[in-house]
Structure 1
Amino acid sequence: METVQELVPLAKEMMAHRSGRKLVKLYVLGSVLALLGVVLGLVETVFSPFSAASSQQDREAAAAELQAARERKALRSRALLEQGKRPEAALCGRALSNRQHAS
């Protein structure tokens, strides 16, 4: 249906041909749902620039958090190296001692 004005003549014609009321209700329901879909699409189109701006800010905040976490990790590894401890030896020391007699 291109316009809403076509619905009334269609309904009258269907009633004149003795079409069931269920069929008329089905056409009216379909038309209402299509109209609702168009309205929701227009609302989404109008508000999409605002949601895109907020998602851009969220991505920038996540990137800043990731960068801060990387910097903290780098500082921790530098501190361990300055103390003379290697992180690999600290993590694997016990596992190596348990596997000395394994074949």
Structure 2
Amino acid sequence: MESVQELIPLAREMMAQKPRGKLVKLYVLGSVLALFGVVLGLVETVCSPFTAASRLREQEAAAAELREAREQQALRRQGLLGKGEAREAAPSGRALSLRQHAS
């Protein structure tokens, strides 16, 4: 509020001195940019709770997917541990690829 009260005397003083056109355009441009910044700040302040809530939902969904993938992986491991003999009989894919390059 204080800055608005300071702008009015400044504008009166500028008009009394009869400033050049370029100087007036510069002040008008600065004022418009400042007003634009204030409006963007207000919009960001109003919208920030909504964006924060959506980010939180996305993080929760990603965490749930990760938990589900870990559970499935644990179930696969348990299933493979029950068939330990069959697992030992079958060579792994990496070992085969190393053998092909070694020969």
User: Is this a same-fold pair by TM over 0.5?
Assistant: yes
- Return 5+ residue gaps in structure 1 as ranges: none
Q: Is it true that 1:64 corresponds to 2:35 in the alignment?
A: no
SS of the aligned residue for 1:19 comes to coil
CA distance in 1, matches of 2:61, 2:42: 30
Using the size of structure 2 for normalisation, the TM-score is 0.71
Between 61-70 and 36-45, report the one with greater CA deviation. Answer: 36-45
Structure 2 counterpart of 1:6: 7
Identify the structure with the greater helix proportion: 2
Q: Is it true that 1:93 corresponds to 2:78 in the alignment?
A: no
Identity of counterpart residues, as a percentage?
A: 54
Structure 2 counterpart of 1:17: 17
In the alignment of these two chains, the number of paired residues is 98
1:20-41 superposed Cα distances (whole Å, 9 cap, x missing partner): 2122111111111111111211
Question: Which 4+ residue blocks in structure 1 deviate beyond 6 angstroms?
Answer: none
Q: Alpha carbon RMSD of aligned pairs, Å? A: 2.7
1:76-100 superposed Cα distances (whole Å, 9 cap, x missing partner): 22223333315xx413331453476
Using the size of structure 1 for normalisation, the TM-score is 0.71
Q: Which has the higher contact order (CA 8 A, sep 6+)?
A: 1
CA distance in 2, matches of 1:60, 1:70: 15
SS of the aligned residue for 1:44 comes to helix
Are the structure 2 counterparts of residues 28 and 99 from structure 1 closer, same or farther at C-alpha, using a change threshold of 3 Å? closer
- Return 5+ residue gaps in structure 2 as ranges: none
